[in-house]
Structure 1
Amino acid sequence: MNLWPSSVLFPLQWLLLVFTDSTIQPVSQLQPVIAINGLFPGPLINTTTNDYVHVNVFNNLDEPLLFTWNGIQQRLNSWQDGVSGTNCPILPGTNWTYVFQTKDQIGSFFYFPSINFQKAAGGFGPIRVNNRNVIAVPFAKPDDEFDLLIGDWSFDNYKVTRSLMTDPTIAFDSIPNIMLMNGKPPFGNPQGKAFESFTVTQGNVYRFRISNVGTTLSFNFRIQNHRMLLVETEGSYTNQTILDSLDVHVGQSYSVLVTANQVDADYFIVASPKLLNATEFSSLVGVGVLHYSNSVAQPVGPLPTGPDPFDINFSIDQAKSIRWNMTTGAARPNPQGTFNVTNVTISQTFILQNSEDVIKGSPHVVVNNVSYLTIDTPLKLADQLVNGSGVYQLDAFPVQSINLNASFGVSVVTGNHKGWIELVFKNNLEFIDSWHLDGFGFYVVGFGDGDWMAALRMTYNLFDPVVRSTVQVYPGGWTAVYAFLDNPGMWNLRSQLLKNWFLGQELYIRVHDNDPNPAKERPPPENLLFCGIFNKSASLLEHHHRP
C-alpha cells in the first residue's frame, strides 16, 4: 500500500471556466466548437478527496448553458448537479458559481454540457480526484499520469443536428465521422494536422485515465506491444487485472497502469468502435502514439488488432470480470470492500425499457413508453418552493410496466430514502446503450440476454460487484444494478448516448427526507438562480421552507 499524494485536508479550490463558441479546425474543416478557457478539450480539474471546489462559469455562448460533473456524487447537494431538473440554466452573457465537495471520492471523472445537445460540440474536460495522504492507494505511485479523453465526433454543426433529429421528414444518420483523442484526429489521417502523443521513458510506469466522452459509440482501447493493468473505474478500485484491450462505453472512465517495458520506439494507441466494421469506417478508429523519449522513428504498422467488434460475448465476459477490490481502502479509512450486497434487502425494483417511437409526428426515445418532457422550471426548485405542485406529478408514470401508448411526460419517481433499489435496464435498440445515475455509485450485479425475470437474480454477482456510475446495456439484453439511496436530492437517471438523452431517455428519482437538518441535505445556495414559473422570484424563499 502507498500513501500519495500529500494534501491539506478540505482546502478550497477556485476555478474560472469561460465557455465560448469557437470556430476551430479539429480535423479538416472549420466548425463551431465549445471551448473552455480557449481550450478544446477543457482544462483539468485536479482536486483531492473532500476538497471544496468553486467553479465560476462564464457563459459566452449565444444560448443557455449548464454543465454537469459525470460521476461526482454531489453528496447532500443536488442543487449543484447541473442538469435541467435541478438547476436553472446560466444565461448568455452571465456567470454562475458552482460550489461542491468531492466528498468521500477518489478516481477519474469528467465534466460536460448537459443541455441543448451542446456536448456534441465539446465543452468537456477531465476531473481527477486524488486520495488524501492518510488513505492508502493499492499500487505504487506512477511516474506520471495522462488524461485521455476519447470520443466519436461529427463534422456537422450541433445546432443543425439537434434540429434535424426531431424532423420526421429526415432519416437522421447518427453515425459520427471520426474518433478524436483529446480533441485530435487519428495518426496518419490525411485531413488531420496533429495527433495525440504521450512521451514515456523506458522502465517507468504511467497511469492513463481514459474516458469515453463521445456521443454514440463504445470503443475498444489498446496499446501496441503493451499490456495494461486495470486499477480503477469511476471512483472504485478494481481487482487488478492484466488486459490486452479494454472496452470503454459512452460516459465511462477507467484507470490503467502501463509499464514502458519495450525497446525505445513509437507505438500505436488505438480506440476502435464497437459494432462497426473498422475497415468500412476507418476514420472512426482513433489512433495516437506512445512515444519513447529516446525514439527517433515513427510507429510501425499494422495497428494492433483487438477483439471482433461484433463479438458481444467478449465484451460481456470482460464486463463480468471487472470486480471490486475487496481488500483495499477507497476514499475513506475503512476498506471499500467492508460492505457487500450479499444480504441487502431490496425495497424497490425499477424495470426500465428503452425503445424508439413517434410521438405527435416526431421521433423520440421512450422509457417504458414515456419520453421525458424537459420543462422550463427545474424540478428541484419546484420541490423547494411549492412542493412540486403544478410542475410535476410524483409517480405518475410506471417503472415496472409499459404505458399502453407512447407519450411525453415529466417522469419523477420516488426513491426510498436509505432504501436499496434494484434498477434493471432493458435495451430494445440495436446498439450498446449506457445508463448513468447522478448522485450515486451503483453496484453492477448482472448482465443477461433477452427479457429479464426475477429468477435471473440467481445469476447476479453479489459478492464483489464493481461500484460505478455508468453501466452499459447490450443490444437485446439487460443489465441490473443495486444502489443505496442515502443521498437526498433530485437525481437524474439517463442514457449517456446523447441522441437518446436529447430525445427523451431519462427520468428523475426523488430521494426525499422530511428532516430539514442540513446535515442530511444542504439548503439552496445563496446564489440560487430562478427561472420558469419562479423567474426572478427570490423573495419566495423567504415565505417557503423545505417540504
Structure 2
Amino acid sequence: MTGEINIFRLFFLSVMGYLSISATAELKKYQFDIQVKNVSRLCHAKPIVTVNGMFPGPTVYVREGDRVLINVTNYAQYNMSIHWHGLKQYRNGWADGPAYVTQCPIQTGQSYTYDFNVTGQRGTLWWHAHISWLRATVHGAIVIMPKQGTSYPFPQPDFEFNLLLGEWWNDDVEEVVKQGNKLGLPPKTSDAHTINGKPGPLFLCSEKHTYAIEVEQGKTYLLRIINAALNDELFFAINGHKLTVVEVDAVYTKPFSTNAILIAPGQTTNVLVRADQVPDRYFMAARPFMDAPISVDNKTATAILQYKGIPNTIVPKLPQLPSLNDTNFALNYNSKLRSLNSPQFPAKVPLKVDRHLFYTIGLGANPCPTCQNGTRLTASLNNITFLMPQIGLLQAHYYNLKGVFTMDFPDHPPTPFNYTGAPLTANLGTTVSNLPRLSKIAFNSTVELVLQDTNLLSVESHPFHLHGYNFFVVGSGIGNFDPNKDPAKYNLVDPPERNTVGVPTGGWTAIRFRADNPGVWFIHCHLELHTGWGLKTAFVVENGPSPDYSILPPPKDLPPC
C-alpha cells in the first residue's frame, strides 16, 4: 500500500487502523487536548497551539450514521472552542462550537464534550478553533465514509489522502492580531502558505519541511482538499496531472476535469487523480487568488507527488497555476460546479421562497482615539457591524434571557446605493449597536439570501459560511444584483450545494435553503480578518410544532460564561 513519505508513516498507518470503521453505526470517542508545542516550519521553532501535539490536528474518521463524542480539554493559555465545520448538528447547536454564539469558550484547565450525530452527510469536512485567530494552527480534517454497502458515485479510488492548505506566521498569531488592532490596521500577512502544515522547498530553511505522497503507475487517488487558510482563497494544481472534481463541501458533484481548482477558506473539494504520467516527481502547489487591490502573502506552497521507485534526488517541476488576479478562471471554474442531482442524491432546491433577504457587504473606517492610526477598520452587513456578546446567544435564546440580543436585523440595507460603482470612502451610516442584532426565521420556511459585495473602501471577494445548514448556490454575477432580471437566470435544477460560498469581487451571490434546523446559527465571512471586524450576524430559527422539531436541552457540561 502506498502512503506518505515521511518519518510519521508508521504512525499514520497505525492511526488509520485504529480508526477503522465497522459495518454498523458506532459510538466514536475522541480526546482532543489543546496544548502549546514548539514547531519549526521555516527557519526557527516557535510555540503554537496544537491538538494532541499535532499540526495539523488529528483527522476524525466516522461513518454516516455514527454518534461522535469528542472531549476537548484546554491546556493552553487561551480560551478555546471547536467548530465542526459543515456538520449540520440537527437541533443540536450546543455542539456547533462558535464562541459566544452556541457556547461560551472552554477556559484554561477545563473540558467540554461535543456530542453529535452524523446524519445524512458523507464526504470531507473539517474542524477548527472558532475564537480569535487560533484556527491558524488548531484545525484538522473530518472524513465521513458512506454507510456500509454504499459506494462512491464515481470510480472507487485505490487510496485517499487529506491535503490541508493553510497559512503560517513566524510570530505568535494572537500577538499579530493585537498589534494590528493597536494600530487600527490589518495585521501583517502570513509568512508562508502550507500543505499539511509544511511550506515546501521553495522557502528558506524548509528542505525537510515538505509533504510528499507516493503513488503507483495506473492507480487512482482521491485527494480530500481543505482550505484552512485564515484569509486567502487559493489555487491548487499538480504538475502534469488532471484533477477530476467529484465533491465540494461534502456534497457529490457532476464530475468535471480541470487543470487547477479554486478553493476559498472554509471550503473542501474532493478530486480524483489518475497516476497516468511518466513515473517521476511532480510538484503539487497552492498559491493565492486575489483580484482586488489587497495585500496578500503571494507565496507558493508545494508538496510532492512521487511515483514509486523514483529517487528523491529528482527535482520536481512546478505546475502552471492561474495568475494571482485571474478573475476569468475563478468565474469559469465556479460556473462548472453542479450538484449530482441523481435519484440517490437529489438536489432539493426550494422553488418557492417565503423570505427574501438582501445583505450588503461593506468595509469602513471608524474613529478610534486609542489606535495609533486614529481610525479602526470595520466591516458590516447591511451597514451593521456585529458586536459579540458576553454570553452564548443560543443559551440566551433557549432560556429566553433578556438584554442579550435583539431580533431586528434588517432584511435589506437601510440606504440603497450604487453598490459596486465608483469607490466610496464613507461608511454610509455604519453602526455598532449596543447589542447583537439577529434575524428571526420561521421554522421550515424557505429563505433566499442575496449577498452583495460593495465598493465601500474596496471591492473584494468574500467567502460566506452558514452554520447548521447546507444551501444551494442558485445564482451569481458581477455588478449590482437586479431583482427584476437576475432571478430569471437562476439554476434551480442542479445548483451546487455548499456550506461556504464565495461572493465574487464586485458582484453578488444568491443562495437558498429551508430553515428546518431550529437554533441560533452563525453566518459570517470566513476571512478571519473580516470576521474580527464585524462581518457577521446570526439567524434565530424558531422551534417547530412539536418537541421533535425543537432545540434539544443543553448538555450538563456546557462551558459557563
| Fold equivalence (TM over 0.5) | yes
Shift of 1:103: 0.8
Taking the TM superposition and a 5 Å limit, the aligned residue runs for 1:59-208 are 59-83=74-98, 84-120=100-136, 122-167=137-182, 169=183, 171-192=185-206, 193-208=208-223
- Change in Cα spacing, 1:25 to 1:328, as seen in structure 2 (3 Å) is farther
Q: Are residue 432 (structure 1) and residue 458 (structure 2) matched?
A: no
Q: 1:402 corresponds to which letter in structure 2?
A: P
Q: 2:356 aligns with which of 336, 343, 349?
A: 349
1:245-298 Cα deviation digits (max 9, x unpaired): 111111110100111111221111011211279xx9886211110011111154
Is the 2:168–2:193 Cα contact (8 Å) retained in structure 1?
A: yes
Shift of 1:129: 0.7
Matches of 2:363 and 2:181 in 1, distance apart? 12
How big is the alpha-carbon RMSD for the aligned residues of Structure 1 and Structure 2?
2.0
Is the 2:522–2:539 Cα contact (8 Å) retained in structure 1?
A: yes
Taking the TM superposition and a 5 Å limit, the aligned residue runs for 1:279-290 are 284-290=299-305
Is the 2:52–2:58 Cα contact (8 Å) retained in structure 1?
A: yes
Residue in 1 that maps onto 2:410: 398
Q: Secondary structure at the match of 1:447?
A: strand
Shift of 1:328: 5.6
Shift of 1:345: 1.2
Q: Secondary structure at the match of 2:354?
A: strand
Q: Secondary structure at the match of 1:159?
A: helix
Matches of 2:450 and 2:321 in 1, distance apart? 30
Shift of 1:464: 0.5
Shift of 1:152: 2.5
User: Number of matched residues?
Assistant: 513
Q: 1:443 aligns with which of 468, 472, 487?
A: 472
Is the 2:281–2:314 Cα contact (8 Å) retained in structure 1?
A: yes
Shift of 1:416: 2.1
- Change in Cα spacing, 1:146 to 1:488, as seen in structure 2 (3 Å) is same
- Change in Cα spacing, 1:510 to 1:171, as seen in structure 2 (3 Å) is closer
Matches of 1:515 and 1:166 in 2, distance apart? 46
Q: Are residue 215 (structure 1) and residue 230 (structure 2) matched?
A: yes
Matches of 2:466 and 2:243 in 1, distance apart? 28
Select between 517-526 and 226-235 the one with higher mean Cα deviation: 517-526
Select between 87-96 and 291-300 the one with higher mean Cα deviation: 291-300
Matches of 1:170 and 1:372 in 2, distance apart? 17
Is the 1:316–1:447 Cα contact (8 Å) retained in structure 2?
A: no
Shift of 1:315: 0.8
Shift of 1:134: 4.0
Q: Are residue 522 (structure 1) and residue 537 (structure 2) matched?
A: no
Taking the TM superposition and a 5 Å limit, the aligned residue runs for 1:20-35 are 20-35=35-50
Q: Secondary structure at the match of 1:319?
A: helix
Residue in 1 that maps onto 2:540: 510
Shift of 1:21: 1.9
Taking the TM superposition and a 5 Å limit, the aligned residue runs for 1:523-538 are 523-531=553-561
Residue in 1 that maps onto 2:17: none
Residue in 2 that maps onto 1:296: 311
Q: Secondary structure at the match of 2:547?
A: coil
Identical pairs, percent: 27
Taking the TM superposition and a 5 Å limit, the aligned residue runs for 1:218-367 are 218-275=233-290, 284-298=299-313, 300=315, 302-327=317-342, 329=344, 335-337=345-347, 339-341=348-350, 344-361=351-368, 362-367=376-381
Q: 1:392 corresponds to which letter in structure 2?
A: F
Residue in 1 that maps onto 2:396: 382
Is the 1:7–1:132 Cα contact (8 Å) retained in structure 2?
A: no
Q: Which runs of 5+ in 2 are unaligned?
A: 1-19, 369-375, 416-427
- Change in Cα spacing, 1:514 to 1:268, as seen in structure 2 (3 Å) is closer
Matches of 1:29 and 1:432 in 2, distance apart? 33
Q: 1:469 aligns with which of 499, 510, 515?
A: 499
Matches of 2:146 and 2:21 in 1, distance apart? 8
Is the 2:443–2:544 Cα contact (8 Å) retained in structure 1?
A: no
Q: Secondary structure at the match of 2:53?
A: coil
Shift of 1:363: 2.1
- Change in Cα spacing, 1:218 to 1:281, as seen in structure 2 (3 Å) is closer
1:272-329 Cα deviation digits (max 9, x unpaired): 211279xx98862111100111111545454111223312122112101110012263
- Change in Cα spacing, 1:276 to 1:203, as seen in structure 2 (3 Å) is same
TM-score (ref. length: structure 2): 0.87
Select between 435-444 and 145-154 the one with higher mean Cα deviation: 145-154
Matches of 2:171 and 2:377 in 1, distance apart? 20
Q: Which runs of 5+ in 1 are unaligned?
A: 330-334, 532-547
- Change in Cα spacing, 1:302 to 1:200, as seen in structure 2 (3 Å) is closer
Shift of 1:452: 1.1
Is the 2:473–2:511 Cα contact (8 Å) retained in structure 1?
A: yes
TM-score (ref. length: structure 1): 0.90
1:17-69 Cα deviation digits (max 9, x unpaired): 00112232122233331111110000000001111000000101112110101
Residue in 2 that maps onto 1:543: none
Q: 2:61 aligns with which of 36, 42, 46?
A: 46
1:493-546 Cα deviation digits (max 9, x unpaired): 011000111111110101011545145432222323332xxxxxxxxxxxxxxx
- Change in Cα spacing, 1:328 to 1:265, as seen in structure 2 (3 Å) is farther
- Change in Cα spacing, 1:302 to 1:143, as seen in structure 2 (3 Å) is closer
Q: Secondary structure at the match of 2:530?
A: helix
Q: Secondary structure at the match of 1:502?
A: helix
Residue in 2 that maps onto 1:545: none
Q: Secondary structure at the match of 2:177?
A: helix
1:450-472 Cα deviation digits (max 9, x unpaired): 11121211121111101010001
Q: Secondary structure at the match of 2:395?
A: helix
Is the 1:219–1:249 Cα contact (8 Å) retained in structure 2?
A: yes
Is the 1:138–1:328 Cα contact (8 Å) retained in structure 2?
A: no
Is the 2:21–2:62 Cα contact (8 Å) retained in structure 1?
A: no
Matches of 2:534 and 2:476 in 1, distance apart? 24
Shift of 1:393: 1.2
Is the 2:282–2:317 Cα contact (8 Å) retained in structure 1?
A: no
Q: Secondary structure at the match of 1:472?
A: strand
Matches of 2:506 and 2:202 in 1, distance apart? 36
Matches of 2:185 and 2:22 in 1, distance apart? 53
Shift of 1:140: 2.9
